[in-house]
Amino acid sequence: MRRIPAWLRGGAMLAAAAMAWGGMFPVVKPLMHSIDPFGLTLVRYGLAAPVFLALLWAAEGRHAFATEGQALRLWWSGTLGFAGFGLFAFVGLESTRPEHAAVIPALLPLISVVVISARQQAWPSARAILAIAVGLGGVALVVTHGDPWALLTGGAGRGEALVLAGATCWVFYTLGAAAFPGWSGLRYTAMTCVLGLVSIAGAEALALASGLAALPRADALAAAVPSLGYMVVVASVLAVLGWNGGIREIGAARGVLFINLVPVTAFAIAVVGGRVPEAAELAGVALVVAALLLNSLSPAHRVAPPSLPVLQGRS
């Protein structure tokens, strides 16, 4: 039997992962009528964490559960990656359209350029700066329906800004993996996810005490089982494994381009649901895609995509 080429295997895994993430936003949005963002985040990672732990146990054994004196650092990374990203993304999604929120993940490689340049106290290349400007311009077109002035008057962009804050937390979380050079990506993900749950549970407790959240009803949870299953199994576990497997097959420079399928998928779902995107929204998505192409094809500043580092092996 003829073996499937690496580029085809990797491309299929990356495409499936990106489309799974793009589908998550329209799947989660209806749940917010009965389950608040704090509860959704707790359920999502509360169910995903045991799966990651089981995978870690099977792959590396019980010794991989040791924190090696790095519990505090792991907790902080997990707080940024899972509490920060999860809560900001879902709270932001509550006040915006799913397809608008889905545009933000396409900026992750550009956000990483800004963060890495700030850490190195050096300006990005001119090409990277242009890509960042084009990408932000595209997002502005999408969220304001072609009226960027609305960002200054407070008429648009609040939800997307929160999702952007969550995406920035995710970049810091991913870069934090460098502090654990002897750990596999799976170990870093599993341990930070579990410890990050402490912060998510704390945020949920504070939100309940202050009236910002309410415990979901049993019937609401029962009705949400299919959507929660998609969010946990497909978007939080299988997509992560597929993304990292695809990156390993074809490399980050080309693989990161598949992140563009996140907003494309979300907009396609909106169209199937009967919504016709405005010209400004389509133009904005096109600009975001162009910005990622511009940055990714630049030989001077190729930055690995900030994704869940589950199966990247030891470095």
pLDDT tens-digit series, residues 17-32: 999 999 999 999 999 9
* Closest-CA residue to 254 (of 13, 87, 65, 22): 13
Closest CA to 41 of 171, 236, 217, 188: 236
**How far is residue 209 from each of residues 31, 89, 212, 214, measured CA to CA in Å?**
22, 22, 8, 9
N residues, the chain: 315
Domain presence at residue 302: no
- Residue 313 pLDDT > 60: no
**d(C-alpha 269, C-alpha 27), whole Å:** 10
Is residue 50 assigned to a domain?
yes
User: In the prediction, which pLDDT does 177 show?
Assistant: 85
The domain total for the chain is: 1
Q: What is the pLDDT of residue 5?
A: 80
**Containing domain of residue 96, as a range?**
6-296
Q: 121 φ, ψ to 5°? A: 50, 45
- CA pair distance 305, 292, nearest whole angstrom: 11
Residue whose entry in the numeric block shows the structure tokens 């920060």:
84
d(CA 291, CA 110): 8
Distance CA 271, CA 259 (A): 20
Side-chain-side CA neighbours of residue 118 (13 Å)? 9
Confidence of residue 45 (pLDDT cuts 50, 70, 90): very high
Q: Which has the higher per-residue pLDDT, 301 or 67?
A: 67
Task: Name the average pLDDT for the chain.
Answer: 85
Residue 88 in any domain: the answer is yes
* 311 against 198, higher pLDDT: 198
**Could you tell me the pLDDT band of residue 122, with boundaries at 50, 70 and 90?**
confident
Residue 307 CA to residue 184 CA, distance in Å, equals 14
All residues at 6 or more sequence positions from 128 whose CB lies less than 8 Å from its CB, including other chains: 110, 113, 117, 295, 298, 300, 301
CB 303 within 8 A of CB 113: yes
Whole-number pLDDT of residue 312: 38
For the chain, helix, strand, coil in percent to 5 are 75, 0, 25
Whether residue 273 lies inside any domain: the answer is yes
* CA–CA gap between residue 189 and residue 194 (Å, rounded): 9
pLDDT tens for each residue of 153-192: 655 678 888 999 999 998 899 888 888 988 888 899 899 9
Across the range 236-258, mean pLDDT stands at 82
Q: Across residues 94-123, what is the average pLDDT?
A: 88
